[in-house]
């Protein structure tokens, strides 16, 4: 059964810092991996999707990498801003299941202070 | 283009009652999935529907059920509510055109409180 782990559970940094969020998964047979952002009490916003054949994806100040063989992904946030404060969730789409089922980590709660 | 919409946004019920939540996917999306989010368990998969058929079901009791209509809109129902059913219920839709690039888009959720 696919299990997704995110480290650290919480992170507090001053504005302007570059930071890395980590995600690991137990079964490398995946279709893709997605990073989401969730603001308190709200739904999830998709940030990046990395296909299983890709090594990384970039969107603005965000860069996500994927090492499928080792079951790891990282989300790099450059020049962090207070508006980046949110919970970041990693999810994998497992080849052993259906496409509509994502396996989620517990998230990293990020606080960026001015 | 309108996003995924969920109604109602907030709901307060008492134990033993039943509740129906609704989800309208993004236009053109044929797949709808439901998740329950609680502080203790995180995000847990409930069901997945595609072309009006349930394709997958998570590990939840039979009190949780759902369906999908021909216009891809979906509803989920919880009968005989328990205090532990208090959660944020999230719906997600996707196009289901390619396995590797199938991005799921989430709605704002329905906050259910059971008293």
Q: Are B56 and A98 in contact (CB under 8 A)?
A: yes
Give the pLDDT confidence score for residue B96 in this predicted structure. 74
Rg (CA), chain A: 14
User: Cβ contact (<8 Å) for B42 and A107?
Assistant: yes
Closest CB from B45, B55, B90 relative to A44: B90
Closest CB from B58, B103, B109 relative to A34: B103
Q: How distant, in Å, are the alpha carbons of A7, A71, B80 from that of A88?
A: 11, 18, 33
DSSP 8-state assignment for residue B82: -
Q: Is residue B54 helix, strand or coil?
A: strand
Q: Residue range A82-98: average pLDDT?
A: 93
Q: How distant, in Å, are the alpha carbons of A13, B54, B82 from that of B25?
A: 36, 16, 28
User: Cβ contact (<8 Å) for B42 and A44?
Assistant: no
Nearest CA in chain B to A96: B56
pLDDT in tens, B41-95: 999 999 999 999 999 999 999 999 999 999 999 999 999 999 999 999 999 999 8
User: Cβ contact (<8 Å) for B108 and A42?
Assistant: yes
Q: How many CB pairs under 8 A join A and B?
A: 78
Of A4, A25, A95, A37, which Cα lies nearest the Cα of A67? A25
Is the Cα dihedral B67, B70, B74, B77 positive or negative?
negative
Question: Looking at beta carbons, which residues of chain A come within 8 Å of B49?
Answer: 100
pLDDT in tens, A38-83: 998 889 999 999 999 999 999 999 999 999 999 999 999 999 999 9
Residues B43, B35: Cα–Cα separation, whole Å: 6
Phi, psi torsion values for B83, nearest 5 degrees: -55, -35
């Amino acid at each position: 059964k696919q299990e997704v782990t995110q480290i650290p559970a919480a992170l507090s940094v001053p504005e302007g810092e570059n930071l890395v969020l980590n995600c690991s998964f137990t079964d490398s047979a995946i279709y893709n991996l997605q990073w989401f952002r969730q603001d308190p009490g709200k739904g999830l916003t998709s940030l990046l999707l990395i296909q299983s054949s890709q090594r990384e994806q970039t969107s603005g100040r965000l860069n996500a990498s994927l090492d499928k063989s080792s079951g790891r992904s990282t989300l790099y946030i450059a020049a962090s801003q207070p508006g980046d404060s949110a919970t970041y969730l990693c999810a994998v789409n497992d080849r052993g299941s259906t496409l509509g089922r994502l396996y989620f980590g517990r998230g990293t709660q990020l606080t960026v202070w001015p | 283009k309108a996003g995924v919409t969920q109604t109602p946004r907030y709901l307060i019920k008492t134990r033993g009652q039943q509740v129906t939540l609704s989800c309208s996917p993004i236009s053109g999306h044929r797949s709808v999935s439901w998740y329950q989010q609680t502080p203790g368990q995180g995000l847990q998969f409930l069901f997945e529907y595609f072309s009006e058929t349930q394709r997958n079901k998570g590990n939840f009791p039979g009190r949780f059920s759902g369906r999908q209509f021909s216009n891809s809109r979906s509803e989920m129902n919880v009968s005989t509510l328990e205090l532990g059913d208090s959660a944020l219920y999230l719906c997600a839709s996707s196009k289901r055109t390619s396995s590797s690039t199938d991005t799921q888009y989430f709605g704002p959720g329905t906050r259910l409180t059971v008293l």
